[in-house]
Amino acid sequence: MGALFNFTSVDDKATAANVRTFFREDLSHLERLSGQSLRNALASPRLSENGNNGNHAFNGVENAAINSIDAKNELSIVAEVLNQCSESTRKLITDRYISDLTVWQAANAIGYGRTRYMELFNAACNEFAERYAARGHELRIFQ
């Protein structure tokens, strides 16, 4: 809780776990649907539309095209959010989920042991979740 605002308490451990699941599972699904990778979206970010297509009665081909466009837009949003994060958060998350480093490799790359690395990584996941929520996508778990 802050001094100025009455924010709802966030469960940092559960939120970090939710963000890890998002990057491990949902991201690969978005990449398959869009035919693009987050690595490419990070290399050349563009402004995305932040809206829904609503419920439309389309045939299967049109639905597939809409899903692909939605997935591309979502990847773009994820790239923009990562680019808005602090440099350390961006590095921690991209090392794990873009460069596919193991926890040991990522910890070794920044010169920390596993325990300290996981503390930093969980904080990075929470920063990502807070910034992603500002774009209308809630990954935070509230207490």
pLDDT in tens, 63-77: 777 777 888 999 999
**To 5 degrees, how large is the angle CA 2–CA 21–CA 114?**
80
End-to-end CA distance of the chain: give it in Å, rounded.
12
Amino acid occupying residue 18: N
Q: Which two tokens stand for residue 129?
A: 């979740």
Global pTM reads 0.82
- Residue 72: name the closest of 46, 43, 98 by CA: 46
pLDDT in tens, 42-66: 886 554 444 444 455 556 777 777 7
Rounded CA-CA distance 98/28 in Å is 11
